Chain A
Amino acid sequence: VDRNNFKTCDQSGFCKRLRPLKPEKSQYTLNLDSVFVHGNVLSAEVITVNNNGEKKNVEWHYALRLSALVDGTFRVEIDEAEPLYPRYRSMVALDGEPKGDILKLISNENGKLTLKNSQGHKVIITAEPLKFEFLDKNGEPAVVLNDNAQLFVEPLKVRNGDGEETDIEGSLAENFKSHHDSKPRGNEAVSIDVAFPDADQAYGIPEHTDGFHLKTTTSGEPYRLYNLDVFEYELDSRMAIYGSIPVMYAHGPKRSVGVFWHNSAETWIDVVNYGEGNVVSSLVNLVTGGQKRRVDARFMSESGVVDIFVLMGDAPSDVYRQYSTLTGVTPLPPKFSLAYHQSRWNYVDEADVRSVDEGFDSHDIPLDVIWLDIEYTDNRKYFTWHPIKFAHPAEMVGNLTAKGRKMVVIIDPHIKREAGYFFHEDCTEQGLYIKNKDGNDYEGWCWPGSSSYPDFHNPAAFKYFAERYRFENFPGTNKDVHIWNDMNEPSVFNGPEITMPKDNRHYKPSQDGQDGLASFWEHRHIHNEYGVWHIMATHQGMLDRSNGQYRPFILSRAVYSGTQRYAAVWTGDNMAEWGFLLASISMCLSLASAGVSFCGSDVGGFFKYPEAELMTRWYQAAAFQPFMRAHSHIETKRREPWLYDATTTSRLRDAVRRRYALLDLWYTLFYEHTLDRVPVMRPLLTHYPKEEQTYTIDDTYLLGDKLLIRPVVEPGVSSVKVYLPGRDSHTVWYDVDSFQRHEANGYFTQEVTISKIPVYQRGGSIIPRKERVRRSSALMEDDPYTLVVTLDINNTATGTLYIDDGETYDFKSNKFIYAKITYEQTAMKYIITNSGNYPTRSWLERIVIAGIKSPPKSAKLIQDGKSTALQMTIHRGNDVLVVRKPAALMAKAWEIQFSY
């Protein structure tokens, strides 16, 4: 990375201004006389007071709203009471207006207000200095706002240009390298501090590369959230990269809580973990009164209002659900998108695509999707095809879909400024581009050369962009061509920090009497959400092109709160190095906890060339990460799986086949994610919240609550340390390769070979598999299931299975099966829980029961009132019982009875 291209806190005006501000006591005071509670909202006036001399002078007036929301969530908003013109509020993060709970004022005495929601969480507001304490159900403080007096809302001021304001640094304009920011509105930053009493660790605020749990920032740079295209980004860094999700969680044995800082502008976050050895102990004593467990954070944003959601938890899965209730979940993806993707910058022409497609068949490696990067276009003009290299796109796509495969093509937001290019001419004529500070179409430099960028805030631009996806507007595409939205930070090669100037102008609906600065938004206000607008328009376009019938698949590089509702994400332009393989786990865990479950990294690494061992380990790891796509840079050596030596190829094949065998588990987990809103890929602490050792583990994770994965991320090892959680609950874990049983007891040493990565199935769970190898997931649709049952200490297990057509929205009209599967010593039952149905032709091929000490003597299947005796085989070495070919139809309920 070239760090000189990116700002430090000191080079970012508001961060430099706000970070050193540490008043002894907050200047903000609640006007108790103004308090009004109605429904779920408390509103009141907040003032800042100038204590110069004996007389208190009111400096500024603010409006406070505190709302109680459903599911243990509060929202605190502080805006200017009468701002010169409206301050920006992020428009795309929330999945609709949050639903209100009830809020009761239960006392108002001694300058303190006490309020309560329906779940028994309390809020104590101290009027002077202003402070908000959120108490858990036991009445203990869980989250405190403005405890460190770092609440600030810089008021908008009239600019008269007479130099009066210049005493405040950088308020009139800022410069970075050769870039000038005219800052037409002057300073408008906001900030607040959050304290998490009793917390051991904080995590969240992706996207960063310094691991899952957050580190104390006092002696270095704060964490930065500003969507940026960082060339060759580095590891172990708090620098901003492609994504910015301002949600932070804090966790300790007592509880999990979180805050969501609802702001789309550039944001810096300081963190102090008083439990960390390197935090000065005098400070620890001062702030926490000797209590070592506490994390403080401080959010600073360049513009907007103070708008912070407090998530009261109290379990990890509660805070995830609370955040996803606000910002939405990843909808059920089309099934193919969970399978294996093959990409490269670039498959050079149609013949190349064909030979890659055939290569997978001749090497018997399943494949669902081939990707085309920017070179498929006619000179990087999106929605066109290269006239020579991709002259027959429909035929090319047809060749793929004939084998159940799909294609993904890239559509970036930069539009080539070229006379005769319909997109450019339409946008120019209709005024759909983002404007520069002078109100003219902004021109930046990106892949196509001189480019402009659609202003999706403008409904006409949004509509125009969405309509380009119609099959008639993008000939050669059909329902099986899906979309990759890259470079949407947005990336501007010649812009400040490789992105757009902050004083660029975005559309704002015209309102009476608003002109001048009030008639447009600046890019600074909306920057982090630009990428969401891009994918929203794509999503709308893809829905419309099939009249809402098929589920779109979109991949986005920029990430912000709400991204998950429209797209999968990947960790951008990583490198073929072991450190980046490890980072792929913590980065995706962090994103998943922040609502974005559908995450992966470029398998093998984007830059450089992965040697056989690294490539093998990356495939093995990615087989157990939500989004599995191999991708590589145009200048690197080709690396389709068969271009390695034959042994390596067979290991890569094996990894991909493992992925396909578990596709129905993935699919079921993603379905359940839409119900329970808990990440698909989960940190261990999710289900073992009291085991303190798990808090900082980020090379091991869970899929659902069933599988534990510890990818091998180091070269040349013959064993790795694996942490198996659940000692107190007597959890047992079964090695999925050998069915060897391990009692949970913290760390143990697992032997590995180059063919093995440690994966364990939790005792007490049932996992569906499809073990027949096909060329693509679509061809597996009717294939039979194997159910793998691993017994807990009570010899029971449960599992689930979701089945539908894999690509349409018919599941919304109940055309699906969601089955609960239970195993007890005497019977195994398959119960369809929903009232609808789906006519699957799949059947039950085999049941594998691991950990069975006393096997049954006989078994019979009962379905449709018919009873059939079943064959069984017991494997004494590892206590595994295999029930042979029950042949039950999965479209209907069944039961298997065991006798002893």
Chain B
Amino acid sequence: LSDVPRPRGVSLSKASLYSPSKDFTCFDGTNTIPFSYVNDDYCDCFDGSDEPGTSACLNSVFHCTNAGHRPQNIPSSRVNDGICDCCDGTDEYAAPNTCSNTCDELGREARAQAQQLAELHKAGNSLRLELIEKGNIKRSEMGEQLSQLEKDKIEALKIKEEKEALKSDIEAKENEALKVYREAEEKEKERKAELEKEELLKEATEQFNKYDSDNDGLLSVNEIRVVNVFDKNKDGEVDQEEIQYFFGDSENVDKDTFVSSVWSLLKPLLMMEEGMFRPEQDDQEEHDEELPHEEEQHEQDQEGEEETEDNEQHDLNIDDQINDQAKTYDDETKRLMDEASEARRLYNDAERAVREIESNIRTIQQNLEKDYGLNQEYATMDGECLEHEDKEYVYRLCLFDRVTQKSRNGGGEVGLGNWGEWGGDGDNKYSIMKYTNGVTCWNGPARMTTVHITCGLETKLTSVTEPYRCEYKIDLTSPAACDDSHFIQQQQKKESHDEL
């Protein structure tokens, strides 16, 4: 067949378009030239069809038969450029000794390889069928689980309502009983405040009398000049600034003014002198520093809302207990309080049960929505984690979940992406997984990973690379990708393409 006479670089299928007995018309019809102009190393056709065997046209194609291997079409710009592109060496005819014919050898290797691949697919295919079966079972199990959970949820909600009613009932009674105690407590507080006020007045008056050396009921500037306590900056004298601090613009103060305003300024100094008190100012500063910290803490707490609720309830109970210890209740109140706290506990348990069920439902629903491949062949792998180590890092791929990287020299994990979607082209949608929105690179995009899956008897990672900055590529083999019939189809497609 390959002996059919045709111009150099023309494939068998196009041979009939070149007839030596008549003028040649360019395939695009724009020009007709003597047949001697075909392959004369000068481009006459816009579409390059007159020079299939030379490099004269920018856009023409050179066909090599490559007997013994696959035929090949190369851009004709590669004809006679000194590099062997065709295994039969026909592209370098200008210097006949440049290339040797390696087609037989290459063909043998390629066929052996194809054979191997076919066998691999065949062997892998039976594993794949098992995976499919297991996947389908898993899915239907999840369906069953889901409907059971829905039922459980209804039941749990019922219990929760019941417990809530019981709880509010007993809490109302408890409240009523505790009212008496709270009022008493309030009164006690008022009494204490009154006592404190009296104490203060007494103390202030004592001091006033002490400094009022002429006992005229007025404390004058001269009287305090000699008192150490008023020497605020401890420089040995009570200067104008210090007087101003205590007295304002007045020359003297009476007892009432002293008690109401001066004493509050003086007392801390007095106490400090007695070593009982740190300056209030310092305390304030420390407090200021702590403030933002506390806010932060608070924000963090808000993130885990459910937890916070629990915590608060917990705190309340502790408060109650402390109060309990300090006070004595009558037996009836005690009983009510015990009952109320038991009711609260039961209610909390019921509520927790509902939440757990709801969370399980959500997980199963999400999993059911996930695309586990054409035939659920990847379903059993959800959550399975695989590792790969190179010289610097340990990579970990948890299928349908996330990809991470950890330096072998220590340090934390870096997220390289979370499960996004299948991303292969066309027919091969399920050959590539995309994990997106990993940790953001400095000055750059969020890290992402593509997982390229090929047929293999084991599910394992074969390589991890970072071809583009912050874009990772993982090669994964798995029997799930060993679709025998798909493979054969693709091979046939390739071969028919080669023949063109």
Interface residues of A (CB under 8 A from B): 348, 351-352, 355, 364, 388, 402-404, 634-638, 771-775, 779, 783-784, 845-846, 884-885
Contacts and interface: CB of A to CB of B under 8 A. Distances in A.
Contact of B469 (A403, A404, A638): A638
Given A635-B441, A635-B443, A779-B83, A772 B469 contact: no
Contacts of B264: none
Interface stretch (B74-82, B140-148, B166-174): B74-82
Interface string B76-116: 01100111000000000000000000000000000000000
A355 B77 contact: no
B83 A402 contact: yes
Contact of B83 (A388, A403, A846): A403
A634 B77 contact: no
B16 interface: no
19 contacts: A388-B391, A403-B83, A404-B82, A637-B468, A637-B469, A638-B468, A772-B56, A772-B58, A773-B75, A773-B77, A774-B78, A774-B81, A775-B77, A775-B78, A779-B81, A779-B83, A784-B41, A846-B42, A884-B42
Contacts of B466: 348
B81 A635 contact: no
A221 to B, nearest CB: 30
Nearest to B94: A782
A370 to B, nearest CB: 15
Contact of A771 (B58, B81, B83, B444): B58
A348 B469 CA distance: 9
A364 B469 contact: no
Contacts of A636: 444, 469
B40 A885 contact: yes
A87 to B, nearest CB: 46
Contacts of A775: 77-78, 81, 83
A636, A772, A783: residue with the most chain B Cβ atoms closer than 10 Å? A772
Determine which residue in A388, A636, A637, A846 has the highest number of CB atoms from chain B within 10 A of its CB, and name it: A637
Contact of A772 (B40, B77, B391, B441): B77
B429 to A, nearest CB: 21
A404 B442 CA distance: 38
State the 4 A-B residue pairs at the shortest beta-carbon distance, nearest first: A779-B81, A885-B42, A635-B443, A638-B468
Given A635-B442, A775-B83, 5 more contacts: A634-B469, A637-B444, A772-B58, A774-B81, A885-B41
A773 B444 CA distance: 36
Contacts of A845: 42, 56
B80 to A, nearest CB: 8
Interface residues of B, number: 23
A355 B58 contact: no
Nearest to A388: B391
Contacts of B469: 634-638
B467 interface: yes
> What is the interface of chain B mostly: helix, strand, loop, or mixed?
loop
B465 interface: yes
B102 to A, nearest CB: 15
Contacts of B78: 774-775
Contacts of A784: 41
Contacts of A355: 467
Nearest to B58: A773
Contacts of B81: 774-775, 779
Interface string B38-76: 001110000000000001101000000000000000010
B475 to A, nearest CB: 12
Nearest to B442: A635
Contacts of B55: 772, 774, 783
A150 B465 CA distance: 63
B425 to A, nearest CB: 14
A364 B83 contact: no
Contacts of B444: 635-637
A468 to B, nearest CB: 27
Nearest to B83: A403
A884 B445 CA distance: 54
A364 B75 CA distance: 8
A414 B442 CA distance: 26
Nearest to B81: A779
Contacts of A402: 83
A773 B74 CA distance: 13
A637 B445 CA distance: 8
A885 B124 CA distance: 59
B465 A351 contact: yes
A774 B77 contact: yes
Contacts of B42: 845-846, 884-885
Contact of A364 (B77, B443, B465): B77
Contacts of B82: 404, 779
A524 to B, nearest CB: 35
B298 to A, nearest CB: 36
A208 B58 CA distance: 42
Nearest to A633: B443
A403 B85 CA distance: 11
Contacts of B443: 635
A573 B467 CA distance: 24
A347 to B, nearest CB: 10
A292 B31 CA distance: 63
Nearest to A783: B55
A38 to B, nearest CB: 61
A348 B468 CA distance: 9
A123 B466 CA distance: 67
Interface in B140-165: none
Nearest to A771: B58
A413 B469 CA distance: 27
B370 to A, nearest CB: 30
A3 B86 CA distance: 58
A741 to B, nearest CB: 24
B423 to A, nearest CB: 17
B357 to A, nearest CB: 46
B303 to A, nearest CB: 31
B23 to A, nearest CB: 15
Nearest to B468: A638
A772 B83 CA distance: 15
A781 to B, nearest CB: 9
Nearest to A639: B468
A402 B82 CA distance: 9
For A351, A779, A845, which residue has the most chain B Cβ atoms within 10 angstroms? A779
B467 A352 contact: yes
A808 to B, nearest CB: 18
Most B-side CB within 10 Å, residue of A352, A634, A635, A638: A635
B392 to A, nearest CB: 8
Nearest to B54: A772
A364 B444 CA distance: 30
Nearest to B40: A885
Interface string B376-397: 0000000000000001000000
A329 to B, nearest CB: 33
A364 B41 CA distance: 20
A355 B467 CA distance: 10
Interface in B389-435: 391
Contacts of A771: 58
Contacts of A885: 40-42
A816 to B, nearest CB: 22
A775 B83 CA distance: 10
A403 B82 CA distance: 9
A37 to B, nearest CB: 63
Nearest to A355: B467
Nearest to B443: A635
Nearest to A774: B81
Contacts of A403: 83
A838 to B, nearest CB: 18
A638 B443 CA distance: 14
A773 B78 CA distance: 9
Nearest to B75: A364
Contacts of A884: 42
A638 B441 CA distance: 14
Contacts of B442: 635
